[in-house]
Amino acid sequence: MFTGIIEEIGTVVGVQKKAGCIRLGVEAALVGQDAKVGDSVSVDGVCLTVVETSSGRLDFDIMPQTISLSTLKAARPGVRVNLERAMKAQDRIGGHIVSGHVDGVGVIRSRRVTAGQKTLWIAVPPSLLKYIFLRGSIAVDGVSLTVSGKRGGCFSVSLIPHTAGATTLGKKTSGSQVNIEVDMVARMSLDSGRKVS
């Protein structure tokens, strides 16, 4: 489990296709300091298991289902990614509870800057949009955000200057793909209500 508060922006340094998976290498100066094999790390919102460590580099094996549901299928050396270590039970939850099990991919339709605040409008499939509510929580590329608008197959989030600078979202442009994880409480509430009816 994660909080959606990004600790570091890492850089993809290796992508190797292996039998049935992709080996992803990420340079992670901070997150890699104390990481060990078996640790969970959120990479652009996707929970991955460390399979190898070496001098600030973390390697992960990405399985086919994860590849198909996330933007990591397009990973290549030089791409910057949001990183967060798994939360500890005694830690504050500064964002919201994020599982790292990405629900799908959204596409940024527009990016507006007003008074230093960036607003992103993101299109998602109807299967995800039904779980997205105004003022509800959402994880976009692993970043815990609040939904500020919803219309026409899209939702919006606003980035304060700190979030724009401390994550990869500040550099995203129209057409960029992002990983989406809807709020698990909203999903469970809506789905359990449907089963009861």
Query: Which mean pLDDT values do the consecutive 10-residue runs of the chain (197 residues) have?
Result: 95 94 97 95 98 95 95 96 91 82 97 90 96 95 97 96 96 97 82 62
Q: For residue 164, give the amino acid letter.
A: A
Look up residue 111 and give its two tokens.
Answer: 């990016």
CATH 2.40.30.20 assigned to domain 8-85? The reply is yes
Look up residue 57 and give its two tokens.
Answer: 């580099």
Tell me if 143 sits within 8 A of 82, measured CB to CB: yes
Q: What is the pLDDT of residue 192?
A: 72
Same fold, 8-85 and 104-196: yes
Q: What is the pLDDT of residue 195?
A: 58
Number of Cβ within a 10 Å radius of residue 137: 21
Dihedral angle of Cα 107, 110, 113, 118, to the nearest 10 degrees: -20
Domain ranges of the chain: 8-85, 104-196
Rounded to whole angstroms, how far apart are CA atoms 66 and 141?
Answer: 14
CATH 2.40.30.20 assigned to domain 104-196? The reply is yes
Tell me if 12 sits within 8 A of 75, measured CB to CB: yes
Look up residue 150 and give its two tokens.
Answer: 């919803």
Dihedral angle of Cα 133, 135, 139, 144, to the nearest 10 degrees: -170
Q: What pTM, to 2 d.p., does this model score?
A: 0.92
